Structures are given as C-alpha cells and as structure tokens.
Structure 1
Amino acid sequence: MLSTNLTAGMGTRRPAYIPPVQFFAFLATLTVHPHFTTRTHDVEKQTAADDALRYLQQVAKLVGPRNSGLNRAFRFVEATKPTASRNRRAVTRNTTDAAEEDQEYDADSIRSRYATEESLWSNADDFWSVVGWAFNCSVAHPHRWRRWKVWLELMLDILGADLESHAEDGTIPASMFARYLASVGERGRNTKRRLMRAILADGTQSSLAEFHEVWRDETRGPRNLKNQKVDRQHKRQKLDLDNGDFGDYGDESSAEDSPATSIQRSRSSTAKPSRRDSGNDDDSDESQAPRNKDNEPLTGLAALGRTPSLHLRTRLLALLVRLCALSPPTFLDTEDLFDIFTEFLRPIPLSIFSHFVCPARPYLDPDALSSMLQMLFRPLLAGSGAPVYDENVVTQEVFEECFAPYAAGGGGGVDNAKWGGGV
C-alpha cells in the first residue's frame, strides 16, 4: 500500500503520499533485524524485510531525505535513558524545532515492539557503533554482513543526498551526518579517533569489544525447523478454550522471540559480544583474530571483509572529507582530518594500504586525494633527505622536486613499497 501510494501519479504534479516519520524508523529496523532476516526460516518475514528496504530506497530516491522526513526519522535514542522514556528521541540537535520533531515522532503509535524496545534506533548507541559492528560482521559474521551491507548502502545514499541538500542552503550543521558526528563529542582528538576505529573495524577481539552486536544473540542462526514443528504441535495439543488457553493463536512469533522473553534477554549497553556464530549453537572463540575455513588468519582484503566492505569504508571516508571541506567548524578542517587518516592508514598491511591510496574506483576528487597522500607519505620520507613540504596541496612541480626523487627513509621494504605504490 505504501509503495503504491508513493508511485501513484508519477510524472504529474500530484504530491507523493508518505506515512509519518515513525514508520520510516520502523521499516529501517525491519530491513536488518535478525528476527526478520537471519534468525528465521519464515519466508513472509524475510519478504517483509526486503520490501521494507525497497520502499525506503524508493522514498530516498523519489522524495529525498529532507522532503520525506527520513532525516528526522533516523535518530538514535540516547543510551543513558531508560527504554520506556527513549521513544521520544530526545537527542542533541542542531536545529531549532526539536520540540516539534518530538511531537511528530511517536513510536508508540505503531503497535509493534520493533518500533519501540526492539527498534534499531533504541538498541544501538549511535551511528558509529552500528558502523563498527557492521564492518566487524563483514569479517567475522558474513551471514549478518549480507543484511548490514544493504542497510549501510541505504544509509550512505541518504546521508550523501541530505548533506548535499543542506550544502545548497548553507545549513551543513543541521544535516544528518553532522548530527551523527556530534554524537562523537567535541573534546579532543581521542574521541574523533573512534570514527576511524569504526570505519576500519576488522572483527578482532578489541574491535568486537568496542563495536558489539546491536541485538542480543544477533549472530545465531534460525531455530531448527523440526523443533519449531514440534513446538507448534505441542501448543496445539494444549488448546483449551474453556479454560482460556488459546495455544499459539495470536502469537506472532516463537516462544524464543516473544516479547516477554525479549525483555528478559534485553542487552545492556555494556553487554559482551555474542559468542554465537552462523547457524549453529557451538561457541566460537572470538578471542583470536578471524580465521578462514582452514583455521588460518585472514590476510589481504579478506582481513577487512573484501571488496564490497572496502568500498563502503572508502565511501564513509569520502563523506567525512566532503563535510569537512564544506563546513570545517562543524567537525574538523580537512588538514586535521587527513592527519587522523594518516594515523590509522599508514600502519595497515601493504595489501590493504594500496587500495586506499590507489583505489580501482576513486573515492576522492583529485585535489583531496593529493592532499591526503602528501600528508600520508610525509612521515615515510622522514630521514630520506627530502625537503620539508608543509602545504596542503601538491602541484606537479612540487611533486617532482619534493617527493618523486626520494625513497622512504628508514622504514625498510614495506615502507618503500607503500611509498612506491603511492607515487
């Protein structure tokens, strides 16, 4: 119905008919919630998740994040408040109509726990905690990554479109992405390093400890179909209308997924990462780095989730660069941002490093890329005799005089290979 209303009258001057913003937040949860994706064999639930994703993609493309209200719907609840009081989404905003937005957003108007206590926006601490967990899944939990990947693609499309819309009228601080950056905090460089740890999350013990699952036992697979049938048969045998026992009528989910059970098992903000893996109930040892099927440590692009994961990571880097270039006071100026990039990118293995400095698909414009590279390679040239160059832009003449003639200084073969690959 929602899709039909959205597309009705396309090509005419008729307005698009869309629901209140709380429905968008609800649908965004359905697209990735394990009960509708990786923890169920129910085809109808899986279809609902796919339909919800497709509808949100249509809204973002046809109506836009600002006109549709997606920018107001996708707000994370403050983790310090009790669940019951968090449905109003009282978060720090850069706009002046916070009270109006809180009145407009009322998750309780949707009679589903997936709009309230099971909502993505209530369970995740902030956008960056989801980013870090999603990229952890790209390495450690591929079955969950398939759903988080499409969610991240949708979010990056929406964040990019919303940022450009605000750039047109000079209101960058009010954009969705600026709001997500505000959750990081303003005090010092250490808090801003969290962004890079999220973007480069690699499924290791330390990364999983910082960016843990959004929902408890999220990485477990579906319940065994045979056991589900036995449970349903058992419920039907207990049907006793005279005594008020209605069996499984009106039960929308299995006993394991019931609201009561969900409340009992709800995760606190300090919960440890699940030790469950894809589809089986045997504990997996996440105290070690992720390994392949031959029990060997992952290497190369596999250590960061392979090409699709790397592409989304670079899209996030590009979005950061774009915001900082448009409005440095909102977060950082580009030179400080590239300095943080350098801190995290320079130590990574050569096989991955080359994909950030010489990408097959460019993710930065030429000026931004040259600025990042000269800052990235400046430490590599230390001690090589190269003249000091502190400007933020590299011209052809400067490159030929200050960079190209020199090898990496004192770093051995790996640093020389990184330097050569960048040149």
Structure 2
Amino acid sequence: MYLFSWLFTTPPLAMATVDEVPYRSPVPLQWELARQTEIFLEDSLWPQAYSLLFNVLASGTISSTKAVVPLPQHLAVAATILVHPRTTTRAESEYEKEAPKAALRFLRLTNSLVGPTDAKFNLAFGFSQFASSRQGRRRAESPMFVEHDNLDTRPLNTKFNQAASVWHCAEDFWHAVGWAFNCSVLHPARWERWQIWLQFMCNVLEDDWKEREKKYQEAKQNQTDTSVLPENSERSEKEASQGAEPKEENHTGKKPKAKTVVQDDLGIFRESLIFRYIASNTTAGRNRRIMRAIFANGKANLGEFKEVFNDELRIPVPDQDLHNTKKRAGDINLDKDDYGDYQNNSDEDFEADQSSTSVSPPAKGSNTKTRRSKRTRRGTRNAMDEATDPIKMAKNKTPSQENSNLAPLGGYTSLALRQQLLSILSSVSEKLPRHFMPLDDLYDLFVENIRDLSLPIFQQFISPSNLPHLLPEAHSTLCELLLFVLRESSAPSSDDNYLTQAKLEKCFLPYAAATPSVGNNAKVSILLEALMTLLHKSKMLSVTPSLAEAVRSGIARREQASRDRNSIEWAYLKESGFRMKFMVEHILP
C-alpha cells in the first residue's frame, strides 16, 4: 500500500539522544563484587544488593567512558522484584518495600549508561520457561538455568530466581502485557506495580531498537564508503602491505565485517528483544493475540491473560501485618539466639509460584502450606480483600464508574503504554514485514481494535496532543485508515499517496459517517480535527475559501445526520466542530 511508503523516512527524534550521549563500554563485574551481591540476594537483603550494584555502576561516570556491568541474573531478579507481590502488595516491612525502589534505580541506570545490548538484556529478560507449551509440547527449561558453566547463565540461589521469577511465571511477554492491562482496569493496587515494570520494559524495547537502527545506518554508510573497493578482500590486504598509504588501506580492509550486517537481510533487527518476544509464539493467531494483549480491558480477555503470579491478588490480613510489625520492632539478640523475624519470613509466595503458575488446591493428605487455608474463614475478609476481588468489583461498580472517561482501558498511563507498544510494533513491521507482518496489515489490526472504542478513549488515542508516541506521518496514516472505515460511501477517493490540504478538502472534510450514529459522526469529526492539527503543525494547512466551506458544510452534514442529540456523544460532536471552526477562523494563517 503506497499510503505507508513515507511513514519512516526519518528516524524518531529520540535517536539524537543516543548520538549525543553514547553508551559506555562495558567492563565485567569483578568476581568479589558478584559474590557479595549473590550473598545479599541469597539472604534476602535486596536493597543492599542493588544499592551496591548501583554504586559500582555509577562510579566514575562523569569522566570515564567505561562502566561496570552487572550479570544478566542480577537484572532478571531486579525486574522480578519490581512487580512480585512479595516485595510490593504483600511486603511485610518498610525494608522489603524499599527493594523495588532500589531495583528500579539500578535497572534504569544500567539501561541509560550501558544500553540493552551490552547489558545483555536479551539473556536477562527471556521468557523461555513456556517457550514450547503453547504447541502442546513439554515445557522447555530456560537456558539461564541450565548452562551452569557460563557465568551469564549460572543460576543464583535466590527466592526470586527460577520458578518464582516473572520470566518463568508469565507464559511470554504478551501474557504479562495482557495481565498488566487487565490490572489497570480491575486491580489498581497491582496496576500500580505492573505499570512501573511495563514502562521500563517498553523503554528498553525502544532503546534496544533505536540502538540497532543506529548500528544499521552506520553499517549502511560504511558499505557505501567501501563500495569502490575490490570485492576480493585478500587482494586489498595484499596491496596495502606492499605500499601506498598503508594506514588508510589497512583501515578499510576491515570494513567487510560491518558490511555483512546490511547483507544479512536485516539480521541485526531480528536479534532485537521485541522481535524475540514476537517470534516466541509461532501459532497461527500470534498477531491477533498480540493485539488482544495490548487492548486487554479486563473483560473478554480476562480468561486469556490470567494473573502471572500464583495468588497474586491476595493481600495480607491486618492482624498478621500487626503481628509481623511487632516482631520486627523487637531487637535481635544473637547471644540469646533471638533473631527477630529473620528466620520466620514466610516463603509461601515463592513456594506457590514454584509449584504452579495457576491457582490450584493442595493435594489430599499434603502437609504443605497448612498454615493458611485457600478458603478464607468467615469474618476474616476485610474491605481491602473485597476491593481487590474481581467479582465484587464488578458488582460494586456504578454506571458512572463504568462509563467515566478513560476507566474502561485503565486511565491515561495505561493508554500511553498501549500506544507506545503500537509505535514499537510499527517500527518492527516497517523493517521486518516478511518476518512479522506487512505494515498495512498491522494498521488494519490497529483500526480493527480502535474504531469500536468508547468515544472518550477513542479521542485520547487519536488526539495528537494527548499521546504523541506515534510519528506525525504514522499518526496521519492511522487517521486516514479509520476515516476510510467510518466515512460515508459516497465520499470520493484520491490518487494522492500523501495527505495534503486538497485531499483533506475533497475526500474527508465535507462528509459524515456511514451510519446516522452520533457516536460515529463524533469519531469522524475527531479524526478530521486531528488531521487538520497534524497538517497545521507541519505548516501544510492554510485558510482558503475552499477549506472554510469544506469545514462548514461537513460540520452541518454530520450534525444533521446524527439522531440522538441528548447523549454525551452529541456534546463531543459539537465541541469538535467548534474547535475546527475556531482553528479556521483564528489559528490558521
């Protein structure tokens, strides 16, 4: 489709940050520091472990061009600590609540100083436990826990490693995404933690892709610079050794290594973290499952994207919290063998995750986990328990809560993350259409999932000022495709591959929706308003008699076609039309 030929003519503006502040060269972590960190993690001293790694990583960063990088296992455990119930919603002390903060500081610094590639995020953030379960085969073991001879994959003896980690409990990245967005609608307490994890992961995916784009462009430039050289590299090296300008010839003799990056059918992009997540599932419905995860709303997708951790929604009873607090307040007396609560920390959260990733009752006759029954005794549930119960939440929702603004998709932060993921997928589709899907097919899926959204959410997705993750070119293309679906059939088509003022006046502005629904007409008006804004920002829109007439006639046509004028959708339609008139009369040159 020619409509997409100009989507990615220039790299995102954020690319400049990679050029201005290059990543530092990685230096392996010394064995002594790695061992000390492992001791901290084994003893559940998580804040100390990641404060140590943070200080080591940050030392000498003002003048040094190198940075000491942690092991992938440290990164994997840190990402689990961000979201695991044991350190978040079920943390038993302020000390444990400090662990996610320390882990997040460490993860962000690693990503900003070293970058996803040199930090080996591909090893740290791999969902490999369920790699083959979707095809019905035996679950595969993660390489991180098998290759003991490799320091980068040697397992750590920590509570958050292996079966209790998010990388094992989640089926794949899209399972975690779908559950996180379900939490944004149904479970605010869990969403508070999942949004931090998901925001970090989205930033990592973006940074990893941009770094690979930069390397690809550099290799492409090197290929152009060396295109005049003989194809036989041995001949070039021989000529360099015999005489003229040996330094220049020796330097160029190494260029074919960079040249292979471009010739390998964009292999550098196939090694990206986001493509690994996409390719982890090879079933026929892979692409639609990805879309369902991004647009999960706590309703139809709740059965597909279930909770990641076992009993994730369970919260501690206040009496038990008070008891634990009193125990922690006591002094530790080693002479009297009084260790406070050090040896009494409950490992139920970890044992449950290791036994299964789904909620299941214990076997008959089992002596495990007898301290707490799966069924809460009558009278012990409190208001917080009921607030996080999905069944009671559904019953207690009022109509105003159900339809208020952005609640059906979890609020502004949730929408921003969803659009950020769509933007990342657009980049992948543009570079790897054969391995992922063509760009026009991807945008067809976007349209399929966006067009039926409620009007407040639809406006947030479309408005250029609210969620500016998409490039202006991609944004205008999405708006055009939505208009092709929603506008009346009598509207003419155009041979122009690019959006112009003439095309806007001829094909879009004067027309209403295909149905008399006031909601659809409001969506058409919002889309037209967005296109006018995008053209204005690009200095491609100016006031002309034809533009003013197209805006005026289109507003009248959409209002006349709409029937229900006592609904909130009518207010959206009127307000959008007013803004378009105001733009023509007071803003446009």
What's the TM-score once normalised by structure 2's chain length? Answer: 0.61
Distance 1:53-1:227 versus aligned 2 partners, 3 A rule: closer
Whether 1:267 aligns to 2:357 is yes
Distance 1:160-1:47 versus aligned 2 partners, 3 A rule: same
Match of 1:309 among 396, 414, 425: 414
Distance 1:247-1:84 versus aligned 2 partners, 3 A rule: farther
Measured on the aligned residues, the alpha-carbon RMSD in Å equals 3.5
Q: Helix, strand or coil for the counterpart of 1:72?
A: helix
Q: Helix, strand or coil for the counterpart of 1:280?
A: helix
Distance 1:232-1:84 versus aligned 2 partners, 3 A rule: farther
Partners of 2:459 and 2:523 within 8 A in 1: yes
Whether 1:32 aligns to 2:83 is yes
Deviations 1:353-398 (A, max 9, x none): 1111114232211211111111111111242x11235876422222
Whether 1:78 aligns to 2:129 is yes
Whether 1:22 aligns to 2:80 is no
Q: CA deviation at 1:278?
A: 8.3
Match of 1:124 among 170, 181, 186: 170
Deviations 1:163-217 (A, max 9, x none): 0111123311111011111124363xx431112211111112x221111111011
Q: Helix, strand or coil for the counterpart of 1:65?
A: coil
Q: Helix, strand or coil for the counterpart of 2:303?
A: helix
Rg bigger for which structure? 2
| C-alpha separation in 2, matches of 1:417 and 1:231 | 55
Match of 2:289 among 194, 198, 211: 194
Give the number of aligned pairs. Answer: 396
**Aligned position for 1:328:** 433
The residue type paired with residue 418 of structure 2 is: R
**Aligned position for 2:314:** 220
**Aligned position for 1:208:** 302
Q: Helix, strand or coil for the counterpart of 1:16?
A: strand
Q: CA deviation at 1:326?
A: 3.1
Whether 1:251 aligns to 2:343 is yes
Farther off after superposition, 396-405 or 144-153: 396-405
The residue type paired with residue 208 of structure 1 is: L
Partners of 1:135 and 1:200 within 8 A in 2: yes
The residue type paired with residue 267 of structure 1 is: T
Deviations 1:64-119 (A, max 9, x none): 111111232111023146999624259xxxxxxxx9999454352x1113111101
Q: Helix, strand or coil for the counterpart of 1:208?
A: coil
Deviations 1:115-155 (A, max 9, x none): 11101101101111111111111110000111111111111
Distance 1:20-1:277 versus aligned 2 partners, 3 A rule: farther
Distance 1:254-1:100 versus aligned 2 partners, 3 A rule: closer
Q: Helix, strand or coil for the counterpart of 1:286?
A: helix
Distance 1:166-1:269 versus aligned 2 partners, 3 A rule: farther
Whether 1:150 aligns to 2:191 is no
Q: Helix, strand or coil for the counterpart of 2:309?
A: coil
The residue type paired with residue 8 of structure 1 is: S
Partners of 1:221 and 1:278 within 8 A in 2: no
The residue type paired with residue 467 of structure 2 is: R
**Aligned position for 2:323:** 229
Match of 2:276 among 179, 199, 216: 179
Q: CA deviation at 1:247?
A: 9.7
Distance 1:254-1:231 versus aligned 2 partners, 3 A rule: farther
The residue type paired with residue 21 of structure 1 is: P
**Aligned position for 1:372:** 478
**Where do 5+ consecutive residues of structure 1 fail to align?**
91-98, 237-244
Partners of 1:324 and 1:333 within 8 A in 2: yes
| C-alpha separation in 2, matches of 1:196 and 1:148 | 19
Q: CA deviation at 1:335?
A: 1.2
| C-alpha separation in 1, matches of 2:183 and 2:317 | 20
The residue type paired with residue 371 of structure 1 is: T
Deviations 1:310-369 (A, max 9, x none): 111111111111222233233122211111111111111111111111142322112111
| C-alpha separation in 1, matches of 2:129 and 2:99 | 28
Q: Helix, strand or coil for the counterpart of 2:406?
A: helix
**Aligned position for 1:93:** none
Distance 1:63-1:3 versus aligned 2 partners, 3 A rule: same
Q: Helix, strand or coil for the counterpart of 2:512?
A: coil
**Aligned position for 1:357:** 462
Deviations 1:10-59 (A, max 9, x none): 12335211221111101110111000110123111110121011100110
